[in-house]
């Protein structure tokens, strides 16, 4: 750290010791929250610390107030954005949960896949599920299972071949969809 950096840090440290309590009290009155006031005051001095070296501060309280006001406006803008987002989420239609029939069909499909993969090593099955059900990429699977990307490719090839062989030997799964007459 250069001499100029040390001098700047010491100067900001002195300003902190001299003006922090004053700034905090002022922010508490303005924000009606001691915790927000602490955050804004700390951020104010952090910004002052990152200010250009050699900055001449003639009126420290005016500068601190200006920085703090800007931070308060940023806080308010962020709150407004969060509030608008929450309102838009609340206005959206709630997500519908799948019907019991849809859940049963999904379970049946998973059981069929499990039966087709029966007899394969667990790592091969796990690789297939991570790829096809969980949607992970080959590098993600390799990292999660602690195997090479080449092994992931080989395991997927084995699983897909097994599924293809089993599909030709067994009838294809087709969920039945019936309509009720009115």
Contact 40, 13 (CB under 8 A): no
Domain boundaries, the chain: 3-91, 100-169
Quick check: 181 pLDDT over 70? no
pTM of the full predicted structure? 0.48
Q: What is d(CA 138, CA 131) in angstroms, rounded to the nearest whole number?
A: 7
Structure-block tokens of residue 98: 């799948």
Q: What is the CATH number of domain 100-169?
A: 1.10.10.10
Q: Can you tell me the mean pLDDT for 113-124?
A: 84
Quick check: 9 pLDDT over 90? no
Contact 159, 124 (CB under 8 A): yes
Quick check: 173 pLDDT over 90? no
Structure-block tokens of residue 3: 């001499």
Give me the pLDDT at residue 119, please.
Answer: 84
Reported as a pLDDT band with limits 50, 70 and 90, residue 16 is very high
Q: Can you tell me the mean pLDDT for 79-94?
A: 76
Would you give the distance in Å from CA 42 to the centre of its chain? 26
């Amino acid at each position: 750290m250069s001499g100029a950096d040390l001098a700047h840090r010491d100067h900001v440290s002195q300003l902190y010791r001299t003006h922090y309590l004053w700034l905090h009290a002022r922010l508490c009155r303005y924000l009606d929250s001691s915790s927000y006031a602490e955050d804004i005051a700390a951020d104010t001095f952090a910004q002052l610390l990152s200010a250009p070296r050699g900055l001449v501060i003639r009126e420290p309280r005016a500068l601190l107030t200006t920085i703090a006001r800007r931070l308060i406006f940023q806080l308010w803008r962020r709150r407004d954005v969060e509030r608008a987002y929450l309102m838009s989420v609340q206005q959206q239609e709630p997500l519908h949960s799948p019907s019991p029939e849809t859940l049963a069909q999904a379970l049946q499909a998973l059981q069929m896949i499990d039966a087709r993969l029966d007899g394969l090593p667990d790592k091969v099955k796990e690789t297939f599920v991570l790829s096809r059900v969980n949607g992970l990429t080959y590098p993600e699977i390799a990292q999660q299972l602690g195997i090479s990307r080449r092994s992931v490719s080989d395991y997927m090839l084995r699983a897909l071949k097994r599924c293809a062989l089993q599909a030709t030997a067994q009838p294809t799964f087709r969920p039945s969809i019936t309509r009720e007459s009115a």
